Structure formats: C-alpha cells, structure tokens
Homo-oligomer: A and B are copies of this chain.
Amino acid sequence: MISAVNEKFPGQGPAVSAGWRTRQLEYTWLRSLMGRYEDFWHVTESALVTTCNAMKLPLDAAARTQLMESYLHLDTFPEVKQALKALSHLPLSILSNGSPKMLHAVVESAGLEGIFTHIISVDEVKIFKPAPVVYELAVKKTGVEKGHIGFVSSNFWDGAGAKAFGLRTHWINRAGVPPDELGITPDVTLKSLTDLIDLVA
C-alpha cells in the first residue's frame, strides 16, 4: 500500500497509508454504531478521499482507482502461504470486514485459492467487527461450536471482539506492540502464523 501511494505521491506513502488505515477502521466503527452500514469497499474509498483532502493531495479519478485497486491484491506476510498449507489438515476459513469482491480478489491474487472452506464477509450481517453478530456468523456458516473455533487475527481489538463473543483467540503480534486495554485479552499471543503450526499439532 505504501509503495502504491509513493508512486502517485512521492514520499507521502507512509503518512497517507497510516491516515487511510486509521480512517478506514474508524469509519467501520462509526458506521456500525450509527446503524449506517456501507460495504468495506465503499468505506475504504471514503477513507482514502478524506485522507487526501486532509493532506491537501490532489486525488484525481485515475489515482483513486489505482490506489483502490491495490486493495484487490494485497501482499501476505512472508510466512502466511506456507503456514496455511501446514495448517490445512484443519478446516480453514476467513472471517473479514472485506466485501466479498475484495476477499475473492485478494485470495486469488495471493495464490490462496482452494485453501479455505468458507470465505465469510461481514456484508452478510451489515455491521463491522467487533460487533458480536459478526463472530456469530462464523458459527452459523461453519457449523462449528464457538468454543471449538480458533480465531486468528493480527489486530488486538479483533481478537478481543472474538474472545468477548466466545471464540478461542490467537493474536499475531508481529511488531511486539503492547496490548490494548479493553478489559479482555486474546487467549494466546504469537509472533507469526508459523507459531500456530506447533500449537495445534
């Protein structure tokens, strides 16, 4: 994402990317609380527009399209593909804020087709994480009891939401950041997805 922004606005990649990500999440929480859901593609585009406005960067239609399309082929962290293959004796599913179009594009672009039993988008319940009804959707779609679902996220707050609902939760804390103080903590903290292989062996 940073390099995509740098191509359009040289040197602005880190700042635009950070502002964009912050607003993207804020807008999901605000829209969810207001009961005014729009899908993650729409929210992501709104966050990009406001970020560029706030930084006084001219976002023409071509730049907007190009930056948004970078969300359709996000890179995975280096260990992800191999780790998922090593975990594929278990049924693996995605539960994401992303719209169905975004999720299918990213899975294809990352070469992860065929790995997931279910690709579940919050779009089915029209509210974003960490609303409990999102995590409940994992139970409904997979048919697995909530205490038997292992939920994995690199976002502490997402793990907190899953734990609050009753899933068994694993926080991938690659950067070693301190936990958020939300009155609830994921069950297990790991440094990468590779650590999960031994844990579930």
Query: Which A residues are closer than 8 A to B by beta carbons?
Result: 22-23, 25-27, 29-36, 38, 46-47, 49-50, 53-54, 128-132, 157, 160-161, 164, 177-184
Contacts and interface: CB of A to CB of B under 8 A. Distances in A.
B183 A53 contact: no
A162 to B, nearest CB: 10
A156 to B, nearest CB: 10
Nearest to A23: B180
Name the prevailing secondary structure of the A interface residues. Answer: helix
The residue in A25, A29, A129 that gathers the most chain B C-beta atoms within 10 A of its C-beta is A29
B132 A178 contact: no
The residue in A23, A33, A160, A184 that gathers the most chain B C-beta atoms within 10 A of its C-beta is A33
Contacts of A128: 33
A35 to B, nearest CB: 7
Task: Please state the number of chain copies in the assembly.
Answer: 2
B181 A27 contact: yes
A181 B20 CA distance: 12
B29 A33 contact: yes
B178 A53 contact: yes
Contact of A34 (B47, B161, B178, B181): B161
Nearest to A51: B178
B181 A36 contact: no
B46 A182 contact: yes
A47 B130 contact: no
A35 B22 CA distance: 22
